[in-house]
Structure 1
């Protein structure tokens, strides 16, 4: 082995270890809240979700909350609540239709209520929890490009400001022109760290490229047990609102000798993201220890290689 090859290998190892040291958390997939084809079991029912309204499930393609027809409302809600402290929800969806004018949009919910039809993107008003709205039709909100994506935290008493497209209720949001009828799979990824942040990313411009929509510095307080759901509605204008897949994960900070329990509402504060100073110091100490060991390996390899070359030369005479 040449010294240059050994050095290259060592540098690659250091880079890999450095990347690994930046992983502050791990994830556990939650089957109870995830959806993928064929969506239904052999009895044509979903074990983990209920659905209603005008929702149609085509097992080889999509869950269609509304078809491209006027005055439709559809929903799908989890049967068990999401109780993870830190979580990530990644959803592939599709908004499309044949009309030049279209509406109204769809929503993702994490609420105390479940499976109730209503006037807010197909679900109930005065909800308690979190709503993420993908609004494709402008009612009365000048200066904002549509489609518009926004988050609202409901207290169970406040009415959604439908006339102004939620302007009075907005926690955070962004314009997402091109999200309807995009040429790549459209997705959103919502990540929540209790007491730390709520972040939304979108994929609709280029496959594999996530566009930052928003990130709150003061995350909302959500119900300790909230049902995950999706709903959509059409009025005089319409669109197909499809859910293709849902992947939900519980996020946790790995601890030595500690086993994570998916769906646990983190009775242990050590499972919250945001490392303590002691842990950060330990991580850096371990990182530099690894570098030191690599240097020792390189040095040992070099001296061993030198000795081998000297010994080989001596055998020639």
Structure 2
């Protein structure tokens, strides 16, 4: 009787510990770098987070921009990330009324200087750190070999310019197409930095499973930078909604020795080969009416030339006949 009781107790103890082991992985989530609904109303501070621009806070999501022109919003974590290996998971939704024309997109940041307004989807150009850019701008700039929406990564030490007119393809580490816009459900993105390897994955098919977008080795990022999310609209627009942000601390790889990364400069050993910087064709300064008038005058000139040619030919024929009489 005592043996059965002991066995049952031991079995219950093992089950409890297995259950705790399964859920203990969530203990690695860094709450000071995470953002989980419900949120407070507009104008109320969010612990550990700051928002600027046209950002709107609702109980269920944080809207960086609404679906209207010339908007800019930002959401930044106010606590620097001290862990070296991490997985940043963002739950989001990009949607709007545009079917063929929409934009511009949003960016996820791990940057040295937070809360700095700028031209790269609402944040600073010549930044230091990592930018994951989710570009939805449907009116393509320059020659491309990919469609939009498009996810890309950029590492910057403060000296590189993001060429917005070329969608940043001259300085990106890697990228992939991802049709995350106007889904009926929320979409997810994982930015994992582990052992100097950057891996970006998506769940845009509502399968609760990650699908790798791209992976880049040889990426060196310092500790002490800030997580942020920014978005912009221009002539084209969309709603850019953030549902949640979770940052998980990862264990150090067994083959890597921990070192002080607080003062290193962001760098990467691999960049995609840059395309030739081809200038976009300049739009014509002529209005539609002027073009029509020029085409009309050109047509009249062609007709006049044909008529004159016929008249000249007829006179030439008459002179030829007179010579025979």
Identify whether the pair has TM-score above 0.5, normalized to the shorter chain. yes
Gaps of 5+ in 1: 1-16, 256-264, 270-317
**Contact 1:110–1:131 (CA under 8 A) maintained in structure 2:** yes
Deviation at 1:170, TM superposition (A): 0.5
SS at match of 2:170: helix
1:113 aligned to 2:113? Answer: yes
Change (3 A) 1:41 1:64: closer
- Report the counterpart of residue 51 of structure 2 in structure 1: 51
Distance, in Å, in 2 between the alignment partners of 1:126 and 1:43 is 31
**Contact 1:112–1:223 (CA under 8 A) maintained in structure 2:** no
Aligned pair partner of 2:163 in 161, 164, 183: 161
Change (3 A) 1:30 1:110: same
- Report the counterpart of residue 207 of structure 1 in structure 2: 207
Deviation at 1:157, TM superposition (A): 1.7
- Report the counterpart of residue 314 of structure 2 in structure 1: none
Write the deviation string for residues 18-58 of structure 1: whole angstroms up to 9, x where unpaired: xx9xxxx9961100110011234999211100110000000
- Report the counterpart of residue 132 of structure 1 in structure 2: 132
- Report the counterpart of residue 229 of structure 1 in structure 2: 228
Deviation at 1:113, TM superposition (A): 0.7
**Contact 2:252–2:258 (CA under 8 A) maintained in structure 1:** no
Deviation at 1:207, TM superposition (A): 2.5
Deviation at 1:139, TM superposition (A): 1.9
Distance, in Å, in 2 between the alignment partners of 1:112 and 1:189 is 20
- Report the counterpart of residue 33 of structure 1 in structure 2: 33
Distance, in Å, in 2 between the alignment partners of 1:211 and 1:35 is 23
Change (3 A) 1:75 1:141: farther
Aligned pair partner of 2:176 in 159, 174, 177: 174
Distance, in Å, in 2 between the alignment partners of 1:150 and 1:27 is 30
**Contact 1:185–1:203 (CA under 8 A) maintained in structure 2:** no
Distance, in Å, in 2 between the alignment partners of 1:58 and 1:41 is 5
What is the Cα-based RMSD across aligned positions, in Å?
A: 2.7
Gaps of 5+ in 2: 1-17, 262-325
- Report the counterpart of residue 191 of structure 1 in structure 2: 192
In terms of Rg, which structure is larger? Answer: 2
**Contact 1:141–1:167 (CA under 8 A) maintained in structure 2:** no
- Report the counterpart of residue 11 of structure 1 in structure 2: none
**Contact 2:42–2:56 (CA under 8 A) maintained in structure 1:** no
SS at match of 1:117: coil
So what's the TM-score if we normalise by structure 1?
A: 0.69
- Report the counterpart of residue 245 of structure 2 in structure 1: 246
Write the deviation string for residues 90-147 of structure 1: whole angstroms up to 9, x where unpaired: 1100000011210000000000010111110111111000000000013224211111
**Contact 2:103–2:237 (CA under 8 A) maintained in structure 1:** yes
Distance, in Å, in 1 between the alignment partners of 2:259 and 2:201 is 28
Distance, in Å, in 1 between the alignment partners of 2:154 and 2:115 is 19
Distance, in Å, in 2 between the alignment partners of 1:228 and 1:240 is 21
Distance, in Å, in 2 between the alignment partners of 1:42 and 1:54 is 11
Deviation at 1:163, TM superposition (A): 1.0
SS at match of 1:146: coil
Change (3 A) 1:42 1:121: closer
**Contact 1:133–1:149 (CA under 8 A) maintained in structure 2:** yes
Distance, in Å, in 2 between the alignment partners of 1:26 and 1:37 is 17
After superposition, residues 8-87 of structure 1 pair within 5 angstroms as 28-40=28-40, 44-59=44-59, 61-87=60-86
Distance, in Å, in 1 between the alignment partners of 2:260 and 2:168 is 36
